[in-house]
Amino acid sequence: MKLGMVGLGRMGGNMTQRLLQGGHHVVACDPAEAAVQQAVSRGAEGATSLADMVGRLAAPRVVWLMVPAGAITTNTVNALLADMAADDVLIDGGNSHYKDSLTHAEAAQRKGVHFLDAGTSGGVWGLRLGYSLMVGGDKASFERVSPILATLAPPEGFLYTGPPGSGHFAKMVHNGIEYGMLQAYGEGFEVLEKSPYPFDLRAITHVWNRGSVIRSWPCELAEQAFAREPHLDSVRGYVDDSGEGRWTAQTALEENVPAPILTLSLLARLRSRQTESFSAKVIAALRNEFGGHAVKHEGAQ
C-alpha cells in the first residue's frame, strides 16, 4: 500500500523503515529535513510539507501520524484535515489521550475522513521485533489498512479494539501496567543490591528469565543492562513519564477503580525527580518538634 508517514522520530522513522522493508510505498514528512532525507535514503518518497505529502498520495489516501501527544498532534490533525478528502483514512499512532482522540475523530467525521487511533507499543525494538497495535475507530477502515498493520506488527500483534478512542485507551492502560511492572523490578533489584550477599544481578536476571514466574521482556532488558554495567553507576535515578501512567491513574479515579500499584508507581517517578524532598523536611522538623528527634542539617555529614 501507499501511505504518508508524518513524524520520523525514534518510532516513526523505524516504522517507516519496517514498512519499506515490507514492500509498502511511504511518503515521508517531518519538520527536520535530515529525517526526511534519511527516510529517502532507505527508499521512501520525501515530502516538503503536509500539503505536499497529501498531494503525493492518490485518493482515497492513508496517512499515519507519529508526533508528540497534545497540541502538536491536534494542530497536525487539523492541518491534515484541511487538505484531506472524504473517504481518506487518518491514523494517529502516537500516545494521545483517548479523549483527544474522540475530539479528533469528530473533526475528521465532519470532513468525511475516517479516523483511527492506534495505540502503538514496541519502542526502539519495534523495527526488528514488530509493534503491538491496538486500533480503535471505524472497523471497515481498520480492515482497509490491515496490510499496513500486518507489516508493522508481529504475527497476531494487532487488534481492532472498538469505537474511536478505544485504541488509545487500551494503550493508556498498557502503559499504566508498565509503570507498575518497572517499579516492582526496580524495588526488588534494590533489595538485592543492598543485601549482605554479593549477588551478580545479571546472573540473577538470567536465571529468572529461564522459567521463573516473573520472567518477562523487561527482565530480559534488565539482564542486558546489568551485563553492560553491573551496578548502573553511570545511570541517574531520575525517571520521567510520558503521560499515560498519569492518565491511567486519573481514569481509575473517575471510574472508582482502586488502582494503588499503578498510582504509587507514578508517585515514585515523581519522587525520583526531587533532589531534596520538602515533605521529608517537614516530617523531620515535626518529629523534632513533638519528640525531640535529631534533625540532620544541610551541609552536615
Catalytic residue among 171, 187, 193, 229: 171
In the residue annotation, 194 being an active-site residue is answered as: no
pLDDT tens digits, 239-283 = 888 789 999 999 999 999 999 999 999 999 998 998 888 888 888
**Residue among 141, 79, 81, 148 nearest 120 (CA):** 148
In the residue annotation, 171 being an active-site residue is answered as: yes
Residue 67 in this model has a pLDDT that exceeds 90: yes
pLDDT tens digits, 193-243 = 999 999 999 999 999 999 999 999 999 999 999 999 999 999 888 888 878
**What pLDDT is recorded for position 278?**
83
Cβ atoms 30, 11 nearer than 8 A: no
**All domains of the chain in start order, with CATH:** 2-162 (3.40.50.720), 171-272 (1.10.1040.10)
- Phi, psi at residue 265, to the nearest 5°? -65, -35
Amino acid at 143: E
Q: How many CB atoms lie within 10 A of CB 20?
A: 18
Cβ atoms 35, 8 nearer than 8 A: yes
Compute the distance between CA of residue 39 and CA of residue 225 in angstroms, rounded to an integer. Answer: 30
| Centroid of chain to Cα 77 | 19
Residue 301 in this model has a pLDDT that exceeds 60: no
Catalytic residue among 2, 45, 178, 220: 178
Residue 180 in this model has a pLDDT that exceeds 90: yes
**What pLDDT is recorded for position 299?**
66
Q: How many CB atoms lie within 10 A of CB 80?
A: 24
**Residue among 273, 243, 267, 286 nearest 119 (CA):** 243
pLDDT tens digits, 118-135 = 999 998 899 999 999 999
Compute the distance between CA of residue 276 and CA of residue 101 in angstroms, rounded to an integer. Answer: 38
DSSP letter (8 states) at residue 58: P
Distances (CA, A) of 230 to 197, 198, 219, 225, 239: 14, 12, 14, 8, 19
**pLDDT more than 70, % of the chain:** 99
CA atoms within 13 A on the CB side of 179: 29
**What pLDDT is recorded for position 300?**
62
What is the average pLDDT across 106-118?
98
**pLDDT more than 90, % of the chain:** 85
DSSP string, 232-284: -TT--------SHHHHHHHHHHHTT---HHHHHHHHHHHHHT-SS-HHHHHHH
Beta-bridge partner residues of 3: 26
From 17-21, 61-65, 105-109, 265-269, the region with the lowest mean pLDDT: 265-269
Work out the mean pLDDT of the chain and round it to a whole number: 94
What is the average pLDDT across 67-91?
97
Name which residue leads in pLDDT, 286 or 25. Answer: 25
Residue 153 in this model has a pLDDT that exceeds 60: yes
What's the first-to-final CA gap in the chain, in angstroms? 65
C-alpha cell at 45: 518518497
